[in-house]
């Protein structure tokens, strides 16, 4: 969502150019994007996440801290819990 939901990371949108653009675009862009997607999907599939200190999702501070990059004013701290039982992870 948001006003920048359709921003293109492939170099055609000049508000975000993480991989360069045009003839000088990064050759590893496709691999990089796929690896981030795979890692994120694997983490979400493998773990259930709890907020630190027993906080609820409605009590999160969503304010932003401005700098060179936009960051959260208060870091998001999550505790992962394995989704499956321990014997499933043993080789």
pLDDT by 10s per residue, the chain, length 91? 567 777 766 656 666 667 777 777 788 888 988 999 999 999 999 999 999 888 888 888 889 988 887 888 989 999 999 998 888 878 7
Q: Which residues of 31-68 are buried (b: 16+ CB within 10 A; e: fewer)?
A: eeeeeeeeeeeeeeeeeeeeeeeeeeeeeeeeeeeeee
Please indicate, yes or no, whether the overall pTM of this predicted structure exceeds 0.85: no
**Domain edges within the chain:** 22-89
């Amino acid at each position: 969502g948001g006003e920048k939901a359709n921003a293109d990371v492939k170099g055609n949108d000049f508000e975000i150019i993480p991989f360069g653009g045009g003839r000088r675009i990064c050759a590893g862009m496709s691999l990089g994007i796929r690896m981030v997607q795979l890692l994120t999907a694997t983490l979400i599939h493998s773990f259930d996440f709890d907020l630190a200190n027993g906080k609820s999702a409605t009590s999160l501070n969503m304010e932003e801290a401005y700098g060179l990059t936009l960051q959260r004013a208060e870091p998001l701290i999550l505790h992962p819990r394995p989704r499956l039982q321990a014997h499933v992870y043993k080789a």
